[in-house]
Amino acid sequence: MHKGFLNSVTKAALAGCLIAVTATTAFAGNISVDQKIPTYKKVSGVSGNLDSIGSDTLNNLMTYWAEGFRKEYPNVRIQIEGKGSSTAPPALISGTAQLGPMSRQMKAEEIDAFTKKYGYAPTQIGVALDSLAIYVHKDNPIKALSLQEADAIFSKTRKGGLSEDITTWGQLGLGEPWKQAPISIYGRNSASGTYG
């Protein structure tokens, strides 16, 4: 596929994403848009394939943007794969995707690998903030966890400061019948940006 064509499709897609971000964040509080960004003007002759591989957290937003983009450019086939943020850098580096949505920052080694291949750093555009929540069964009497406790439950490195893993509800101060009950963890897939 011609590099100039890919650049025009990618630029048009990025512009479309910026428009969507501008529209969806207009009421988000103190977010401001650089006034020097020109108003997007549709161009003719845009067609081809646009592939997005990356964050499953951003899948719905990417699908929404793709629908809007297709209205402007119906001759562009857009494929979105939400397999986790860690799948975005390899897809961008190998050229199997032009967009790599991520729910985390790219790691230095990922940026270096991209830069080594293409001769320039990848363009990173912040589009949203997401948050994580921890839920317990409705019958569980625990009222709260500290960040250090959450780290000792979910992390292998315990960078939050506690000296041991928390594996039972008793370690969090619950008495019988919870004291010896193991904490069962259910979370996001291992390729998720949640894990950095």
Give the H or E element holding residue 160: none
Give the integer Cα–Cα distance in Å for 23 and 4.
28
Give the H or E element holding residue 142: none
At 165, list the tokens: 């893993």
Count of CB atoms situated within 10 Å of the CB of 106: 19
Please list the residues that pair with 182 across neighbouring strands: 168
Give the integer Cα–Cα distance in Å for 147 and 138.
21
> Domains of the chain by range and CATH?
3-118 (3.40.190.10), 132-196 (3.40.190.10)
Which pLDDT tens digit goes with each residue over 135-153? 899 999 999 999 999 999 9
Helices marked H in 95-193: 108-118, 147-154
Which pLDDT tens digit goes with each residue over 10-38? 444 444 444 444 444 444 456 678 889 89
Give the integer Cα–Cα distance in Å for 87 and 94.
11
**pLDDT tens, the chain, 196 aa long:** 444 444 444 444 444 444 444 444 444 456 678 889 898 899 999 999 999 999 988 989 999 999 999 999 999 999 999 999 999 999 999 999 999 999 889 999 999 999 999 999 999 988 888 777 888 999 999 999 999 999 999 888 888 889 899 999 999 999 999 999 999 988 776 656 555 5
The pLDDT assigned to 4 comes to 47
Give Cβ neighbours of residue 95 (< 8 Å, ≥ 6 apart).
none
The pLDDT assigned to 138 comes to 92
Pairing of strands 76-82, 48-54: parallel
- CA distance from start to end of the chain: 33
**DSSP strands (E only) in the chain:** 48-54, 76-82
pTM of the model: 0.63
